[in-house]
Amino acid sequence: MSLRTAIEQRYPHAGAQVPAMRERLIEITQAYLDAGQGDANAEQRLCSTDDFVYWQQLSEVLLGHQLGAAGIAYTHQPVGPDFLIEHEGRRIWVEVITPTPAGIPQSWLGPAGNGVRDFPHEQILLRWTAAIKQKAEVLLGNPTQQTTGYLGNGIVGADDCYVIAVNARLLRGFDGMFCELLGISQLPFAVEATLAVGPIQIRIDRDTLKSSEPEHQQRYVIHKPVGQPVPAYTFFDERFAPISAIWAADIDEGSVMDRPAPMLVVHNPQASSPLPLGLLPAQEEFSAGVIDEEHYRLERVDGRTAPLEELSIEVG
């Protein structure tokens, strides 16, 4: 099956902007393949009828397109992460993953209908932590499984930046109604998964019954119905210092029609090779600065693609 046939069959509708989107998507994916920006099986994956296989590959195409649209040149190496950016004498590697919705209720993934749906924030957050863990092991290796990662075999250098790009498209289901970047804390899932930020809480004094100002919980682990709790403090664990940042996105086919895709960057405060602020396409960026042993300040600043009002919150 040709790429054109596969995309035409995947998007067969003739109404609204679908025909124009379809043609633009074919153009962008073909250019991606012609430029050798994907692995050898990239075309086969783009032609797959398996939604999960298709989206893993399309995410690379769409994020690569975002880099190009922002004027950021990149290459795809025969061995190594998906993108290599050369910036001011430094190498910045980007590894892309699209978490599958395993464990997320079908009531959330399916059509919304007219009813009220619960927000399965913990199940979604677990998909973020799993995705980050998977791509961290690609870099660092897994001693238990006796695997050597990109860092150990010299593909990624000790002074290189390594960014995990997570496309959350599949975590909002196929009706596409909700952007899937913000968690129960009203901060990004990427922040919750790496900087131990939990839901907003109010403390009530038992004696006076006076309540405190709202604040974010420190949540270092996420409890699962079965199995061991999952860590949510990746960026406070010095083992993960080689990971520079998380590039979080909720990007789909609509982005090829110049529809802005929600994107943000969460920086690792302990990164051995920090990612420069404002480099990647994103509306906002988050970084953490330590106040004392129990508190840090999370700063939100304008991103490269869409300035937003600055926000500063204290977590502790």
Cα separation, 131 vs 184, in Å, equals 19
- What average pLDDT does the segment 113-132 reach? 85
- Please tell me whether residues 192 and 245 are part of one structural domain: yes
Q: What is the pairing mode between strands 221-222 and 230-231? A: antiparallel
In a domain, 180, yes or no: yes
Q: What is the mean pLDDT of the chain?
A: 88
Contact assessment for residue 22 and residue 7, using Cβ atoms and an 8 Å cutoff: yes
pLDDT at 293 over 80: no
What's this model's pTM, rounded to 2 decimal places?
0.90
**pLDDT-derived band at 292, boundaries 50, 70, 90:** low
Q: Which pLDDT score is estimated for 291?
A: 54
- Here the tokens at position 84 are 């290599």
What 8-state DSSP symbol labels residue 264?
Answer: E
Domain assignment present for 301: no
Q: Does residue 291 form part of some domain?
A: no
Q: Are residues 96 and 209 in the same domain?
A: yes
Give the burial class of 271: count Cβ atoms within 10 A of its Cβ; 0-12 exposed, 13-18 middle, 19 or more buried: middle
Mean pLDDT of 287-305: 81
Classify residue 98: in a domain, yes or no.
Answer: yes
CA nearest 216: which of 179, 183, 246? 183
Q: Do 58 and 4 share a structural domain?
A: no
**Residues 152, 31: one domain?**
no
Computed from CA positions of residues 180, 186, 187, 193, in that sequence, does the dihedral angle turn out positive or negative? negative
Token pair 């677990």 in the structure block, residue: 126
Neighbours of 57 (CB within 10 A): 23
Bridge partner residues of 290 (DSSP): 296
The per-residue pLDDT for range 33-71, each reduced to its tens digit, is 999 999 999 999 999 999 999 999 999 999 999 999 999
For the residues 247-267, what does the mean pLDDT come to? 93
Looking at the structure, do residues 44 and 59 belong to the same domain, yes or no? no
Determine, yes or no, domain membership for 310. Answer: no
17 and 95 inside one domain? no
What is the reported pLDDT for 201?
Answer: 64
Kindly indicate the confidence band of residue 314, based on its pLDDT and cuts at 50, 70 and 90: very low
Whether residue 261 sits in one domain with residue 168: yes
Place 315 in a pLDDT band, splitting at 50, 70 and 90.
very low
The predicted structure's pLDDT at residue 312: 45
Average pLDDT (219-232) is 81
Would residue 213 count as lying in a domain?
Answer: yes
Q: Residue 287 carries which side chain, given as an amino acid letter?
A: S
Domain contains 148: yes
Instruction: State the pLDDT at residue 68.
Output: 95
Number of domains in the chain: 2
238 and 263 together in one domain? yes
Q: Which tens digit of pLDDT belongs to each residue from 65-95?
A: 999 999 999 999 999 999 999 999 999 999 9
Q: Are residues 25 and 166 in the same domain?
A: no
pLDDT the model gives residue 224: 79
Domain that includes residue 26, residue range: 1-49
Res 194: pLDDT = 95
Is 285 within a domain? no
Say if residue 88 is in the same domain as residue 184.
yes
- Claim to verify: residue 12 and residue 91 sit in the same structural domain: no
Between 50-64, 143-157, 190-204, 216-230, the lowest mean confidence (pLDDT) is in 216-230
**Within this chain, do residues 179 and 255 fall inside the same structural domain, yes or no?**
yes
Is residue 169 helix, strand or coil? helix
Lowest average pLDDT, out of 174-178, 259-263, 277-281, goes to 174-178
> Is residue 1 over pLDDT 70?
yes
- Reported as a single tens digit per residue, the pLDDT across 7-36 is 999 999 988 889 999 999 999 999 999 999
Cα 267-270-274 angle, rounded to 5 deg: 55
Lowest mean pLDDT among 44-48, 186-190, 237-241, 286-290: 286-290
Q: What is the torsional sign of CA 253, 30, 40, 136?
A: negative
